[in-house]
């Protein structure tokens, strides 16, 4: 019996993923440093006649308890306009990049993104329906939260829920069924959105602006709206990173190691979809973040999801902060954030597609 048990142990050992790279303190330190630098640039650069050295002196004064060099109005620009925008960009980037890494782990495909199960289509459909059928409601204030973010959040969760139910009805929670269900639901919800748009073409500009994505905020409300969902989802995804490594072996191998792929897939996709819904609700549709950042982390730091997930959260924050800086400074008028990420992400996506052509063939 001892010999049989030893053989089983050896067999299980060989099934453990080869990419069991652990997250190193150096990698975390580098990622945090990049994020801090990006956030600092986000505070220093922005609209308004504020010299960077004066803003830096204001930040140091707040950290050390010194005398502020700015007037009350200038300090408000830094802490009520720039700071919440930087933090919101960090939350959106972390949500989309972390969700992208999770989707890639679940579907075992580096080209998977956070909108794969219909979150983006559901959000777009809900926002369009609200703008067309209840335009007066969009000007309301539902407490501290506006109706458009709430509609986008609900629509994103609806899209993912429909994909999950359709995938289950097609034969369980396997990746193939979920993927096909996501494609079908996305196409259906997009068709509804297009039909609704044609009912009132005067609203096209408002819907189009939201679809391109952006962080046009005037305070901390959107930050507080997204923060709890992104934080909760990030904790779940980081805690599930080791299990994502096991899923890369396939369901049969993962089951033989004592895990339940269906439950893992449900927990990870639920957390990733929650993060995506929160991001979409406050920023609109921002593409390529969930593909570019996780794949860049994979190239630089290793293929284990114990590395990819946490570094994607940090790297995604830095990426969107820097993209937002470009969006609000490259032109006299602000460029939609989704356009900037597309300019950066589309060539990178083509590179990823080329480097993975053998796997995808």
CA 56 from centre of chain = 29
More confident residue, 161 or 333: 161
Q: 193: which 2 tokens?
A: 């959105």
H helix intervals, 71-142: 72-76, 83-107, 119-133
CA 24 from centre of chain = 23
Sign of the alpha-carbon torsion through 221, 116, 109, 292: negative
What rounded mean pLDDT belongs to the chain? 85
Contact 58, 69 (CB under 8 A): yes
Model confidence band, residue 85 (pLDDT cutoffs 50, 70, 90): very high
Q: 263: which 2 tokens?
A: 């439950």
pTM of the model: 0.88
Predicted local distance difference test score (pLDDT) of residue 188: 95
Q: Which residues of 289-328 are buried (b: 16+ CB within 10 A; e: fewer)?
A: bbbbbbbbbbeebbbbbbbbbbbbbbbbbbbbbbbbbbbb
Q: What percent of the chain has a predicted confidence (pLDDT) above 90? A: 45
How would DSSP label each residue in 249-265? T-HHHHHHTT--HHHHH
pLDDT in tens, 288-336: 999 999 999 998 888 899 999 999 999 999 999 999 999 988 887 788 9
Domains and CATH numbers, the chain: 30-360 (1.10.3470.10)
Model confidence band, residue 171 (pLDDT cutoffs 50, 70, 90): low
Element (H, E) at 316: helix 305-329
More confident residue, 130 or 7: 130
Predicted local distance difference test score (pLDDT) of residue 102: 95
Please name the residue that has the structure tokens 């990030």. 234
Model confidence band, residue 358 (pLDDT cutoffs 50, 70, 90): low
Predicted local distance difference test score (pLDDT) of residue 33: 97
Model confidence band, residue 18 (pLDDT cutoffs 50, 70, 90): very low
Q: Give the mean model confidence (pLDDT) for residues 144-171.
A: 85
* Highest-scoring range by mean pLDDT, 46-50, 107-111, 151-155: 151-155
Q: Give the mean model confidence (pLDDT) for residues 137-149.
A: 69
For residue 8, pLDDT beyond 50: no
């Amino acid at each position: 019996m001892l010999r049989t048990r030893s053989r089983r142990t050896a067999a299980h050992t060989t099934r453990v993923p080869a990419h069991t790279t652990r997250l190193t303190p150096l990698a975390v330190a580098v990622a945090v440093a990049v994020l801090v630098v990006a956030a600092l640039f986000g505070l220093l650069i922005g609209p308004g006649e504020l010299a960077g050295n004066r803003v830096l002196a204001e930040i140091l004064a707040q950290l050390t308890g010194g005398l502020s060099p700015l007037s009350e109005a200038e300090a408000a620009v830094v802490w009520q306009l720039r700071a919440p925008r930087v933090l919101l960009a960090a939350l959106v980037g972390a949500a989309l990049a972390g969700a992208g890494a999770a989707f890639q782990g679940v579907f075992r495909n580096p080209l998977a993104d956070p909108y794969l199960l219909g979150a983006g289509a559901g959000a777009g459909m809900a926002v369009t329906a609200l703008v067309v059928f209840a335009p007066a409601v969009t000007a309301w204030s539902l407490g501290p939260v506006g109706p458009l973010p709430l509609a986008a959040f609900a629509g994103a969760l609806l899209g993912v829920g429909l994909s999950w139910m359709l995938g289950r009805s097609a034969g369980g929670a396997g990746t193939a069924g979920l993927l096909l269900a996501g494609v079908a639901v996305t196409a259906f919800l997009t068709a509804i959105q297009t039909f609704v748009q044609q009912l009132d073409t005067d609203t096209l500009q408002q819907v189009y602006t939201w679809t391109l994505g952006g962080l046009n905020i005037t305070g901390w409300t959107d930050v507080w709206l997204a923060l709890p969902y992104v934080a909760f989802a990030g904790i779940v995804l980081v805690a599930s990173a080791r299990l994502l490594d096991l899923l890369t072996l396939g369901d049969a191998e993962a089951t033989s190691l004592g895990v339940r792929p269906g439950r893992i897939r449900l927990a990870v996709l639920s957390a990733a979809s929650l993060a995506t819904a929160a991001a979409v609700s406050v920023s609109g549709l921002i593409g390529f973040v969930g593909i570019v950042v996780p794949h860049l982390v994979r190239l630089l730091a290793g293929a284990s999801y114990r590395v990819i997930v946490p570094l994607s959260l940090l790297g995604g924050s830095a990426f969107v902060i820097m993209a937002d800086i470009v969006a609000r400074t490259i032109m006299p008028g602000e460029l939609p954030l989704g356009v900037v990420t597309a300019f950066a992400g589309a060539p990178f996506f083509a590179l990823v597609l080329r480097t993975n052509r053998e796997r995808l063939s």
